[in-house]
A and B are shown apart, each in its own frame.
Chain A
Amino acid sequence: MDYNKRSSVSTVPNAAPIRVGFVGLNAAKGWAIKTHYPAILQLSSQFQITALYSPKIETSIATIQRLKLSNATAFPTLESFASSSTIDMIVIAIQVASHYEVVMPLLEFSKNNPNLKYLFVEWALACSLDQAESIYKAAAERGVQTIISLQGRKSPYILRAKELISQGYIGDINSIEIAGNGGWYGYERPVKSPKYIYEIGNGVDLVTTTFGHTIDILQYMTSSYFSRINAMVFNNIPEQELIDERGNRLGQRVPKTVPDHLLFQGTLLNGNVPVSCSFKGGKPTKKFTKNLVIDIHGTKGDLKLEGDAGFAEISNLVLYYSGTRANDFPLANGQQAPLDPGYDAGKEIMEVYHLRNYNAIVGNIHRLYQSISDFHFNTKKIPELPSQFVMQGFDFEGFPTLMDALILHRLIESVYKSNMMGSTLNVSNISHYSL
């Protein structure tokens, strides 16, 4: 795992830090204060928060004071924020439902800022494929490097699984099964939970988020998009009971229009591998059930990823591998494979990869920021590193972009379409669409 060795990679560049403007950083609540902010704290030589925007400027001012952001300015309007030349990177960490109405004018206004290089958007990109495509197109025209927080791609377990697969440790893949739980979408709803995540059309639901992150991770690990898919989406729990923080029922029922079950089947482009995938809402009724299981079976071995939460992108997973050695494959030019002393060539190897102290919620986002920094400062001294790239695709290096996000949105759109039409869809051109 060369990409994990960083002692000789400087994190103190001979250049000014990337100046970050946040839309949606609130010291009192939200996702950014839990993840983006601690990540930037760890990379203070590379990123500096210089601007905050919120519809209420008081929120930004309070955040600046609370976090002592001595280099940051609170902006009263989106236009003044986007126009400010004190920003190199804009991070969008607000509700998905507002992405389109914020990002489109922001990109337009940002034409007044010649310094803007990066646009970082939290997943999901938007509420619909149309909106996602519009945002992608606008960002491309604006000419910024884009980042989407499909941060599961940075999980050490996903990278290790990807490494094992790409190095032939499981041989050719012959089948894949996924089962997961999306905790919020069951019979009960915490009273403090925001209402919008239970209303269809806000871009946050079992399919767009839980399935979206997980299936992106699967494609990334296996280095393959899908060729055909079939999906069924259910809202079998149209009403939920409200519960308080202690789990006590409040005697009140509220409507839910987002799905609570997804059945998904598809075949991967590479190898025509069948994938079966089941997501459901609510807490598992059997205590010993894992909330997330990904099984990848190959001709030489098997991989299993397990998580205690149904959200692979923020879970501290466990990776299990069992199989024969990669060296069982014939080598080029009749080279003799080096034998590991003590290992019987015919016997099965088992690997369990888990880091008990890894904080996946912060850690995966932190590693995403690290990759942006590596790109910006060319910390690994890659000759002729381009100033922009369109997509990460399935590379170990780099970071996912809005093109990667768009491809995923197309897949999700196909899930809903397949459900509505009741048919299997050919999605093999999903990454080839021209805009």
Chain B
Amino acid sequence: MTKSHSEEVIVPEFNSSAKELPRPLAEKCPSIIKKFISAYDAKPDFVARSPGRVNLIGEHIDYCDFSVLPLAIDFDMLCAVKVLNEKNPSITLINADPKFAQRKFDLPLDGSYVTIDPSVSDWSNYFKCGLHVAHSFLKKLAPERFASAPLAGLQVFCEGDVPTGSGLSSSAAFICAVALAVVKANMGPGYHMSKQNLMRITVVAEHYVGVNNGGMDQAASVCGEEDHALYVEFKPQLKATPFKFPQLKNHEISFVIANTLVVSNKFETAPTNYNLRVVEVTTAANVLAATYGVVLLSGKEGSSTNKGNLRDFMNVYYARYHNISTPWNGDIESGIERLTKMLVLVEESLANKKQGFSVDDVAQSLNCSREEFTRDYLTTSPVRFQVLKLYQRAKHVYSESLRVLKAVKLMTTASFTADEDFFKQFGALMNESQASCDKLYECSCPEIDKICSIALSNGSYGSRLTGAGWGGCTVHLVPGGPNGNIEKVKEALANEFYKVKYPKITDAELENAIIVSKPALGSCLYEL
């Protein structure tokens, strides 16, 4: 473990006179600046950048407040910004990708928030989410300036290489870059945004378009560090702790990221996938609470639901049955013990309905009417389903959370007799995670399974989906360095998956589909 982020850490700022720019800025800023000038015939004032992330382990548990282990990657979203001093401020957005058409909208003169229409799938909605949370932050930071006056007008050029729908958090990276940019534009050079504030405000941003994500994406994007994975905790407070990978004797630790090229459009599939899972895990927590005679209490700020979650259940269960009134504080050993117990309870009380709960089943378990259940649980965002698979979802959440703790424990092991010991142990956790995502959470897809199978047969020790799933990217633990297997894995994937599934794939596309990314720096600013 290295330094903690419990103290305020400023988002790094660089400029053209800096001696050594981080690689992403050095490589990408000249290009976006040139494109900005070409589009607006003016020079931008600064560039805000936020990276995408890979989640090594800990999928679909962040919105239950359990810890996760992501790392920021070299793919990122950049926003070049010029601040305008207009009487009638407006914001113009241009995206380097022509799939995302130009946008322009005015800012309300009375300082009220820009409207976001969650029923429309539009890329500028994500900009507006970042704008909204930044605006809300500014109103608290400097109420005399922002309570009833408009924000500054902006010209924005957006460019990113986080593939959309790939599960690497393109939307979160974009929102973090935007929020950082808006605060910077309005507060000027004298104000330095902290990582904690940027992380805290962006965690709720996507809720404004009806996406109930849990905050891992934003934490990883903002707090990423080179050569470190992040241990992201959501309770007692949001915290991201960088963990350096163990130093091995003869190998480097590398992660291959392979994109299935199956695009999972969150907006379209949310009712049967993401939104439904949120409902299922919330419902599972409440069914468990009703079964064991405890009451969930949750008043999470910014949460779209106040029904409590699986972590809340764990806390109140231990308060009632073990007289431990203090909630779990993230301690590894006690966490492992508690999560193991939770898995026993899930088997005990939910396993009798493995085929799934109907609405009537749930209402009966919760001692309420189906109308009450529908009103209280199903109207947070659009959902569509036949049955609610509470057993499978709860089991995944608790077992995945347990694996995260085991992974962190492994990361902090001082040394290994043989390098292979680390690869086998960490890899096993990743493989168990993939099995759980596939069988219990049902967020894999045939392409993901195929890629994992090929990678494991050719030198990967651990292979799993990353991100929400249902397509997108996979991540593979592969020994690197002179004795490594990276090239073998890449070649096998190219020949056995990509050229079979996508016969017309070009070398350039192949290059983008399989990458070896080192952990990258988190959000940062580049001033001109």
* Secondary structure class of chain B's binding surface, majority of residues: loop
- On chain A, the residues within 8 Å of B45 by CB distance are none
Whether B152 is near chain A, meaning CB under 8 Å from some CB there, is no
Bits for B380-391, please: 1 = Cβ < 8 Å to A, else 0.
Answer: 111111110000
Bits for B64-105, please: 1 = Cβ < 8 Å to A, else 0.
Answer: 000000000000000000000001101010000011111111
- On chain B, the residues within 8 Å of A235 by CB distance are none
Q: Is the CB of B121 within 8 A of A4?
A: yes
- Known A-B contacts A320-B374, A350-B386; A8 and B101 likewise in contact (beta carbons under 8 Å): yes
Q: Is the CB of B381 within 8 A of A10?
A: no
B117, B359, B379: the one within 8 Å of A354 (CB): B379
Q: Is the CB of B108 within 8 A of A41?
A: yes
Whether A343 is near chain B, meaning CB under 8 Å from some CB there, is yes
Whether B118 is near chain A, meaning CB under 8 Å from some CB there, is yes
In the complex, what's the smallest C-beta–C-beta distance from A158 to chain B, in angstroms?
A: 11
Contact residues of B between 220 and 243, Cβ < 8 Å to A: none
Bits for A5-28, please: 1 = Cβ < 8 Å to B, else 0.
Answer: 111111110000000000000000
- Known A-B contacts A41-B106, A42-B114, A367-B117; A351 and B382 likewise in contact (beta carbons under 8 Å): yes
Bits for B97-129, please: 1 = Cβ < 8 Å to A, else 0.
Answer: 011111111111100001111111111100000
Give the docked Cα–Cα distance between A356 and B118 (Å): 9
Q: Is the CB of B121 within 8 A of A7?
A: yes
- Known A-B contacts A357-B207, A366-B117; A12 and B382 likewise in contact (beta carbons under 8 Å): no
- On chain B, the residues within 8 Å of A10 by CB distance are 101-102
A7, A68, A353: the one within 8 Å of B382 (CB): A353
Residue among B90, B103, B209, B442 with the most chain A CB within 10 A?
B103
* Chain B minimum-CB-distance residue to A42: B105
- On chain A, the residues within 8 Å of B304 by CB distance are 356
Give the docked Cα–Cα distance between A42 and B127 (Å): 13
Whether B271 is near chain A, meaning CB under 8 Å from some CB there, is yes
Contact residues of A between 367 and 408, Cβ < 8 Å to B: 367
In the complex, what's the smallest C-beta–C-beta distance from B111 to chain A, in angstroms?
A: 13
Whether B378 is near chain A, meaning CB under 8 Å from some CB there, is yes
Bits for B391-412, please: 1 = Cβ < 8 Å to A, else 0.
Answer: 0000000000000000000000
- On chain A, the residues within 8 Å of B442 by CB distance are 342
Bits for B164-182, please: 1 = Cβ < 8 Å to A, else 0.
Answer: 0000000000000000000
Q: Is the CB of A357 within 8 A of B102?
A: no
Q: Is the CB of B109 within 8 A of A6?
A: no
Q: Is the CB of A8 within 8 A of B121?
A: no
Q: Is the CB of A12 within 8 A of B101?
A: yes
Residue among B92, B99, B117, B374 with the most chain A CB within 10 A?
B117
Give the docked Cα–Cα distance between A355 and B115 (Å): 14
- On chain B, the residues within 8 Å of A344 by CB distance are 386
Contact residues of A between 7 and 61, Cβ < 8 Å to B: 7-12, 38, 41-45
Give the docked Cα–Cα distance between A121 and B304 (Å): 37
Q: Which residues of B pack against A, CB within 8 Å?
A: 87-88, 90, 92, 98-109, 114-124, 207-210, 267, 271, 304, 359, 374, 378-387, 442
The list of the 6 closest CB pairs from A to B, nearest first, reads A156-B119, A10-B101, A352-B378, A351-B384, A12-B102, A45-B104
Beyond A42-B114, A349-B384, A356-B118, 19 additional pairs, beta carbon < 8 A: A6-B120, A7-B101, A7-B124, A8-B98, A42-B106, A44-B90, A44-B104, A70-B88, A350-B385, A351-B384, A352-B379, A352-B382, A355-B118, A355-B119, A355-B210, A356-B210, A356-B304, A357-B209, A366-B117
